[in-house]
Structure formats: structure tokens, C-alpha cells
Structure 1
Amino acid sequence: MKCVAIDDEPLALGILERYIAAFPALELLATFDDAVEGVRFLQSNPVDLLFIDIDMPDLSGLDLVSRLDKKPMVIFTTAHKKYAYEGFELEAVDYLLKPITTERFEKAVQKAVERFQYKNFPNLDLSGSIIVKSEYKTVKIVLNDIAYIEAMEDYIKIHLLSSRHPVLTLMSLKGILEDLPEKGFSRIHRSYIIADAQVKSIQNKKIMLLSGQELPVSDSYLHFIEKWKNQ
């Protein structure tokens, strides 16, 4: 998801930059400490997700979003609880109260991922989840949060769109493939399963995901390339 961050406080803007950089689902196009400059950019550049502070001089985040003809998904950030109602009136994805923790940021990104997937892939029902064991815990994995799955000897790593930390579980790729829906996921290599919706391009038996991750397609799974081209 292409995103922009706007905040008049340099420290807060820097924190947002670091958080965004840690999530493969997000591509940061630009940051602005001036709301007016941010508006100019948004009016001429397609953006999927906007992180914006509410209480800013010259133009508040609420007024800025209200003025946009084509509104991206919005996650408001603010130090004041009093703006929560106005934020949700503008159909914001979420409302983050400063100081923002990484855990709270992850939850907001997950909401944005789910809305983005629903909007752009309406015929692909990945609203369900699977349950895996990881580090002595039972973990629920939302299907549309999966970017790809990687084999590591007796374990697999489930790479998520909404987290910089993959989920490690004792299972084989064959085993987890049986738990995944038939449509939406494909094995492309003895070491990789991908979420079909995350494929950006394919060239020379290499798959580029929307996150920028490049994965190989083995000869045994070349049929995936034809399937993807004909979707």
C-alpha cells in the first residue's frame, strides 16, 4: 500500500517513518511537516493510506481529509482524545493516540490491510484465519495478512503484511497448504508458498511481491506463472 505521513512535529514524523519502514505491506512515498504541502502532493499522486496528525497549524488533519476529492484510507494520529469522534465520522481506518506503541501501530496497519484487500480483491474471500502453535503459544493468523510462507528445515516462517516479525511454527509447507483455502495461495518452490494477491510481477522465473521481496519459481511449479498471467 502506497502511503504518506503528515505531522508538523519532526520527532513524531520520524517515529512514523521508522514504524512504516518495518512493515512490508507499506511503501512510504513521502512525508510532510507542512499540511498545505501534503495536500498538494495528495491532489496529484495516488495514495492508498494516509497517516496524519490532527492538531496542526494552518490546516488541521480533519480539515485536510475533508477537502480531498479522492480520499485514501486514513489513520489519524494525535495527542488528544477529544478528536476521536470527528476522526471516525470521516470513516478513518483507525485513530492512534500518541505516544504510539509498535503493537498499537500493528493493529492499525492490520485494519488497513484488511480494508485494502477487500476493496481491491472483492471476489477473493480470505476473511478467515488459521491457528498455529508458535513459541508455546497458540496464534491466530488472518489469511489476508499473509504475504508468503517460507520453509526452514522442520519449521516454517509465516511472513505477515502487518508485522515485521514472521511467525515461526513447527510444520511443513505441505501441512500448512492443506489448511489454506484452494484459491488465494500457491506453492512456487519447495521452500515457498505465496499469497497470489501479493504478486506484483514475474520475470525470468522470479516473482516480485508487492513488498519488494523477490522469490524464485522452481521448474516443478512453473504452471503458476501461466495461471497468474491468465487471471
Structure 2
Amino acid sequence: MTSALRVLIVDDEPLARLRLRGLVDAIQEPRCEVAAEAATASQAAAWLREHGCDVVLLDVQMPGADGLQFADGLAQRQAVQPGLPAPLVIFVTAHAMHALRAFELEALDYLTKPVRRERLQAALARAAQRRSERAAVQSALPQDAPAAPEPADFVTLADRGRLLRVPLAEVLYFKAELKYLTLRTASESHVMDGALSELEQRLGERFLRVHRNALVARWAVRELERHAPTGFGDLDGVDAAEAADSWAVRIVHVDEWLAVSRRQVAAVREALAGQARRVAD
């Protein structure tokens, strides 16, 4: 059974902390537990130096360092014990004016008081998904693989009227579809603007261009096979002329197949061989 999300509540108002605790305790899915409460950013930082949590419910306006400054410290991994993943931040505040700055600091969500239980539950559900994706990524990587990207290494996109930041370590692939791109993680798909050519230049060697319409994380490629129509169906980007001699890669976690252009087959084979060598070593 998946462990409960450990939540740290940071708010200088005792009644606000009490209400948030009550809301968290009332949520049955995802399972959550309030690990601790703090009235100031300094108290929260001191607690985090000795403990870990998955989510911080964070007020903005507090005595001393405010919530934005505290979140900035978390983003820089200055307030977190080495070896522990940085907790996800969900701002809970009476002031909507700081939302843009909050998302610049990689906040998972921004809730305004009074918080509705349904809204908090949705935010915590996203936190649970993000935790699962992190675990899946780490289990798929070879032990000597490079460390996960720093917090600044992410893709920012608009999602139903709000900004969403997706760590590149969780991205399986980008695929061009009509005028948009699809970003795929282990549990979600997002539509975003942009061009694959720009992403390819920005992301460098971590992602492999397998086709004119697809850019795949190297670690996410599980196998390469010659396309058989009865085996894994029609492939995006493959026309009738290519069908007789086409290839496809299977993507980890989602068990999807993406077309591989003939000129990229050698590069994909090399990437798979490199993964095998790292595992063998």
C-alpha cells in the first residue's frame, strides 16, 4: 500500500493551521497525514533539517521571512536536509496577488483562503501523482545514472488557466500533433505550445529525436522493434509508404509505441546499447 503523504503546515495564524489540519484529516484519497506545524519560516526550516515531508502547505505573509522567501530556499535546496527530496509546495493564502511569483518558485498549486476541501484534495492528488512519478523515474534509472535535474530544470506550460511546472526528470516524451505538442509523463499528458526543434536544442543529449514528430527521454526507451501492423497497430507519423519498413520504440511506464524514422534507427540502437552497458557495469 502506498504510504500517506506527509504534510507540513506553515502559517502564523493558529486558527488557520487548525482549519487546514481538519481539511487534511478529512481527505480520504489521497491518504495524508499532518507531520508537523510551524508558525514561521524559520521554524519550518529547522524542522525540515531533521525530518522529511512530501508537501508543504505554505502561507505567504508571515513574521520574519515570508512564504515566498521560504519557498525560494526550498527551491535552492538550502532548507532541506541533504539526501532528502525537496517537498512540493502548495501555497495557501488570502492574497491572490502573489500567484505569478509563486509559480516562478515552482509551486505545485496556489490556493486562496477560505480553502475548499475539494480544491485542497485536488492539489494533494496532484502531489501524490508527482511523488509516484519521482519514484518511478528513480527506479527506472541505472544506479550510476546522472542525478535528477535541479529544480530549475523544468518545462513550464499553461494548464486550464494556471501555470504548471513539470520537472524534465519526469518527462517521457514530447510529440508534435497538429499545431501543438503533447508532453507525456508516467501518469499525465499535457498540451503545450512550442516546437520540437527548439526543445531538441535546449534539452541536448538527455532526449533523443526518434522521428520528425517525437522527442524521447533516453532513459525511457525500453525496446526497439520492426513495425508489424498486427503487433502494435498504427503508428503516429508513419504513412503507407513507410509501413512496410518501419520501426518503433516502446516507452517505459506507459507501454506506448512511437514511430522511429529509418535514419534514427542507428541512434536508438546506440542509446539502448549504452543503457545495457551501464547496467552491466
State the TM-score, normalized to the length of structure 2. Answer: 0.44
Higher helix share: 2
Matching of residue 146 in structure 1 with residue 200 in structure 2: no
Decide whether the 8 Å contact of 2:180 with 2:191 is kept in 1. Answer: no
1:228 offset after TM fit, Å? 2.4
1:222 alignment partner, SS class: helix
Decide whether the 8 Å contact of 1:189 with 1:221 is kept in 2. Answer: yes
Q: What corresponds to 1:77 in structure 2? A: 31
Give the % identical residues: 13
Correspondence for 2:256 among 187, 209, 213: 213
How far apart, in 1, do the equivalents of 2:219 and 2:130 lie? Answer: 16
1:114 offset after TM fit, Å? 2.6
- Larger RCO, structure (CA 8 Å, separation 6 or more): 1
Correspondence for 1:226 among 240, 249, 269: 269
**CA offsets per residue over residues 170-220 of structure 1, 9 Å max, x none?**
x2110111111x232101000001111112222112111111111111112
Note the 1:180-219 alignment, pairs <5 A: 180=203, 182-204=204-226, 205-210=247-252, 211-219=254-262
Counterparts in 2 of 1:190 and 1:113: CA distance versus 1, 3 Å: same
Matching of residue 177 in structure 1 with residue 200 in structure 2: yes
Q: What corresponds to 2:129 in structure 1? A: 109
Correspondence for 2:154 among 106, 130, 137: 130
Q: What corresponds to 2:192 in structure 1? A: 168
How far apart, in 1, do the equivalents of 2:205 and 2:215 lie? Answer: 12
2:255 alignment partner, SS class: coil
How far apart, in 1, do the equivalents of 2:122 and 2:130 lie? Answer: 12
Decide whether the 8 Å contact of 1:130 with 1:142 is kept in 2. Answer: yes
1:167 offset after TM fit, Å? 3.4
Note the 1:31-70 alignment, pairs <5 A: 50-51=2-3
How far apart, in 1, do the equivalents of 2:123 and 2:163 lie? Answer: 18
1:51 offset after TM fit, Å? 5.0
Decide whether the 8 Å contact of 1:94 with 1:108 is kept in 2. Answer: no
Counterparts in 2 of 1:203 and 1:102: CA distance versus 1, 3 Å: farther
Q: What corresponds to 1:20 in structure 2? A: none
Q: Gapped runs of 5+ residues in structure 1?
A: 6-49, 54-74
Q: Gapped runs of 5+ residues in structure 2?
A: 6-28, 37-47, 57-116, 227-246, 275-281
Aligned residues: 154
1:165 offset after TM fit, Å? 3.5
Correspondence for 1:159 among 172, 177, 184: 184
Larger radius of gyration: 2
Q: Is the deviation greater in 99-108 or in 221-230?
A: 99-108
Amino acid at match of 1:155: Y
Amino acid at match of 1:167: V
State the TM-score, normalized to the length of structure 1. Answer: 0.53
How far apart, in 2, do the equivalents of 1:127 and 1:166 lie? Answer: 20
1:161 alignment partner, SS class: coil
Counterparts in 2 of 1:133 and 1:109: CA distance versus 1, 3 Å: closer
Decide whether the 8 Å contact of 1:93 with 1:112 is kept in 2. Answer: no
